[in-house]
Structure formats: C-alpha cells, structure tokens
Amino acid sequence: MKVVDPASRPPADPLDPEVGPAVPASSLAAAAPPALANRPRGDSYREIVRLAWPVMASQVMLNLTGVVDRMMIGRLAEGGDAAIPLASVGYATQLFHLIHSTLFAVGLACVALMARSIGAHDPERARHAFAGSIQVSAAITLFYAVGLFLFSEEALRAMGAEEAVVVVAAPYLRLTVAASLMLSFTMIGES
C-alpha cells in the first residue's frame, strides 16, 4: 500500500462542500459565477416550471385515478348504498400510498445523487446513480407489493376495516399493488 504525503496533495478548494469545512450558504452564493448571479429573475421561475411539470402532471394523474375510481365505484353500489365500496377504495388507496410515498423518497435521493454527479461532470457516476435508484425502487416495491398481495386481508383488518369492507377492498388492493412495479420505474424516470 502506497502512503501519500499530505503535503504533496493539491490544496482543497475551501468552497467545495465535499472536501472543505462547512461553509455558510451565503458564502457559497457570493462565490457563484457572475453569469448565474446576473440572470433575470423570470428565468428561474421558467426553469423551475420546466423541471417540475412532469412530476406535477404525474402526481395529478395519480390522484385523479383515485378520484375516478371512487366516482365509478360509487355509482356501482347496490341499492344506492355506496358506503362499503367507497370505504374499500379508501382503505386500499391508503395502503397503495404507502408504496408511493416510499418511492417518492427514493426518487428524491436519485435526484440528489444524479445532480451531484452531473455537477461534477461525471456521467458514469450519474448512470450508476440512476441504475442504483431503479434497483432500490424495484426492490422496495416488490417487498411491499408481495407483502400486500399475500396479506391484503390482514393489512386491511389491521387498519380497522370491517369484514364487509375487507371482502370488497382486498381484490382492489391486489390489483393496484400488481401495477406498482411499473409505478416504481416511472417515478424514478421522472426524478
């Protein structure tokens, strides 16, 4: 093993947050290149909207799916009593959102890792971060999906659902978690 003399290393950039001591954000902002500092304020707003609209559209569509499901199921209720079918969709949707919220967290980690890699001009590390994020999201989704698929009735009962609701909600829950693997890929792709 070769020992490196600390004196022979090049000096670290004190503003680099990964190698230097903690630097206040105001110091980092003051060290920003002039081209970025002099950009018109409207450019930032447009850039935020340009980057955020795919995720916003996806979240609206995901929530709209639940609304449409409730609208359809409410109309299919026998004798005008929609309480059990609507409660079933509500319970199943809550368990499905458990998967969704975890995938959202993995997507945020993906954004951070890829942004750091791209900022460092290291596309290979960015590709590895993306691949790792897909693998982690698929593994987490499979863990949740298999558990909820096999133990859907037990999970619904643990949430306090009545037996009539469990009977209707379990098949709906199995159907939604069966599609969650595709959700994991799309959410990481959006991130």
Residue 183 · residue 100 · CB < 8 Å = yes
Of the pLDDT bands very low, low, confident and very high (cuts 50, 70, 90), residue 143 is very high
Over the stretch 32-61, which tens digit does the pLDDT of each residue have? 555 555 656 667 888 888 888 887 887 788
Give the DSSP per-residue string, 114-161.
Answer: HHHHHHTT-HHHHHHHHHHHHHHHHHHHHHHHHHHHHTHHHHHHHTT-
Name 165's Cβ contacts closer than 8 Å, sequence gap at least 6.
84, 87, 88, 91, 156
Is residue 9 predicted with pLDDT exceeding 60?
no
DSSP 8-class letter at 7: G
Is residue 164 predicted with pLDDT exceeding 60?
yes
Summarize the confidence of residues 102-118 as an average pLDDT.
Answer: 86
pLDDT value of position 35:
55
Between the CA of residue 1 and those of 5, 163, 187, what are the distances in Å?
A: 13, 66, 43
Over the stretch 47-100, which tens digit does the pLDDT of each residue have? 888 888 887 887 788 778 778 877 877 777 666 677 888 888 888 888 888 888
Summarize the confidence of residues 134-148 as an average pLDDT.
Answer: 90
Distance CA 21, CA 149 (A): 48
Domain boundaries, the chain: 53-190
Is residue 166 predicted with pLDDT exceeding 80?
yes
Nearest residue to 83 (alpha-carbon basis) of 162, 148, 151: 162
